[in-house]
Amino acid sequence: MKIKLSVIAMLATLVSGIVAAPARAATLSDAEATFLDQLVTASVVLEQRCDGYEVDGRGGVQLGARLLGSPEAAMAMIDAYSAAIKARDGETYDLGKFRPEVSEMATKTFRRVRADLIKNPKGACAGYGDASVDRGLLRRY
């Protein structure tokens, strides 16, 4: 299955944070939280334009599939993150894909990683970027 995943590249356009919507608050599983943390971290590296990194869409889906059990579960998490970004930006999004718990955690992770990248651009870009390469979410160019 050849999946184009420029979704992470799209996520690079993420602005300051994501607004958590009130509604059916649920808890993320440990695997979901891990994958979302790694997905958001990689997207912030791209959003902050850290030199030398680009999306590895196939690797991202493979990582998600390993953590969540299937490519479909990985894509569902990616779609939930995408819906959270669109909701935050005031764009139209699929209500069925929006998950408040994803939005809330993504906001926290985004702010933490972005703050690190702003404080120490070289060191944090290398640290977060290399970790994302090691996980398969990004690749070097």
**How many residues are there in the chain?**
141
| Among the listed residues 68, 49, 52, the one whose alpha carbon sits nearest the alpha carbon of residue 60 | 68
Which of 14 and 84 is assigned the larger pLDDT?
Answer: 84
The per-residue pLDDT for 26 is 79
Yes or no: say if 63 and 35 are a contact pair by the CB < 8 Å rule. Answer: yes
pLDDT at residue 119 tops 90: yes
- Start-to-end C-alpha separation, the chain: 24
Q: How far apart are CA 123 and CA 35, in angstroms?
A: 23
The residue-averaged pLDDT of 108-129 equals 95
The residue-averaged pLDDT of 100-107 equals 95
108, 77, 84, 24 alpha-carbon torsion, rounded to 10°: -90
Q: Give residue-wise pLDDT tens across range 24-52.
A: 457 999 999 999 999 999 999 999 999 99
